[in-house]
């Protein structure tokens, strides 16, 4: 590896063999061969274009809340969208536009502060707007895709375009955006009395916060609820609550949550996920789909 892998315009942004564990909620995983934190939209586009020209794979790192990285790391370029310019929030009428790097919680509170409803059910859902859109984050019976008007996506060759929510092909905890790089999202919301909306949001936060275990930065939700059932009920009913694999285990109280201890490895997590999927399939015929991105 050398600075020749990238042109001089972005070479100064590249870090090599950069550890990723501190960026991930599970706190485990290997390094990225290349890592960059662009400070502007132009730098982001230039990085993606340069990687494409060199045949280097690119991954976008959001909040790290639904991501599992193997100990071997990622042999490509990981781009973190932590710069303020990549997470701007703006309101015009009943529309909220958010940069992909904005924290989802910030987008929710910004909308509520502007008297716009539609996102408040997602309060407490971790991660960034971009990540939430790609996985069609859902909470309280509402998914983020239902209030999206348009999405700006970046192609690997550096070109950008706005696509509609229909083109994004949203379904339950899924979208057709996996593998595409989201730059910004435009939400179509509903004008609502701010006081009423704020009280509603506060109530939701109290209820949701009470359900989150301590040490939640080491907890992820590994599976998507299947149609007509919940992962928590499925796992509890077949006796898998508290199941352990090395340093990874399912919460005995909330078996839809995967928790790790300091000795856990990515292999522990992957083996546990595989065991659970196999047992659920054998005993119920349901093929659980993973909620995690795995690098």
Q: Active-site residue numbers? A: 173
Local structure of 53: helix, strand or coil: helix
Task: Give alpha helix (H) positions in 169-244.
Answer: 194-211, 231-237
- Other CB atoms within a 10 A radius of the CB of residue 197 amount to 21
Q: Six-digit token pair at 277?
A: 């999927």
SS3 247: coil
CA distance 105 to 109: 6
- Residues contacting 181, CB < 8 A, separation 6+: 48, 58, 60, 153, 154, 155, 156
Q: Angle, nearest 10°, between helix axes 104-113 and 194-211? A: 150
Q: What are the C-alpha distances in Å from 13 to residues 57, 65, 128, 259?
A: 17, 24, 22, 34
Task: Give the integer Cα–Cα distance in Å for 187 and 144.
Answer: 9
Both tokens of 66, joined, read 């639904």
- DSSP-derived pairing of the beta strands 95-99 and 15-19: unpaired
Total Cβ atoms within 10 A of residue 266 = 23
Give strand ranges (E) for 127-233.
Answer: 138-139, 142-143, 148-154, 160-164, 181-188, 190-191, 219-220, 223-224
């Amino acid at each position: 590896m050398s600075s020749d892998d990238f042109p001089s315009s972005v070479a100064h942004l590249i870090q090599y063999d950069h550890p990723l564990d501190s960026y991930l909620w599970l706190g485990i995983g290997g390094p990225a061969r290349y890592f960059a934190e662009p400070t502007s939209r132009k730098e982001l586009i230039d990085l993606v274009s340069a990687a494409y020209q060199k045949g280097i794979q690119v991954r976008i790192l959001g909040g790290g809340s639904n991501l599992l990285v193997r100990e071997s790391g990622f042999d490509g370029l990981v781009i973190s969208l932590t710069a303020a310019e990549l997470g701007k929030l703006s309101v015009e009428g009943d529309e909220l536009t958010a940069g992909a790097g904005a924290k989802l919680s910030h987008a929710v509170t910004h909308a509520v502060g502007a008297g716009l409803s539609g996102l408040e059910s997602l309060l407490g859902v971790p991660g960034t707007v971009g990540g939430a859109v790609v996985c069609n984050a859902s909470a309280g019976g509402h998914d983020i895709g239902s209030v999206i008007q348009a999405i700006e996506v970046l192609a690997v060759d550096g070109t950008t375009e706005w696509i509609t929510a229909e083109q994004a092909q949203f379904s339950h905890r899924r979208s057709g955006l996996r593998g595409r790089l989201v730059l910004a999202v435009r939400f179509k919301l509903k004008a609502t009395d701010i006081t009423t909306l704020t009280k509603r949001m506060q109530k939701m936060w109290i209820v949701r916060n009470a359900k989150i275990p301590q040490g939640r930065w080491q907890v992820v939700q590994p599976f998507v609820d299947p149609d007509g059932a919940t992962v928590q009920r499925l796992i509890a009913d077949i006796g898998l609550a508290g199941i352990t694999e090395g340093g990874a285990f399912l919460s005995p109280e909330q078996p839809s949550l995967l928790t790790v201890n300091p000795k856990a490895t990515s292999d522990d997590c992957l083996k546990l996920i595989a065991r659970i999927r196999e047992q659920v399939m054998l005993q119920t015929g349901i093929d659980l789909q993973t909620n995690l991105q795995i690098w």
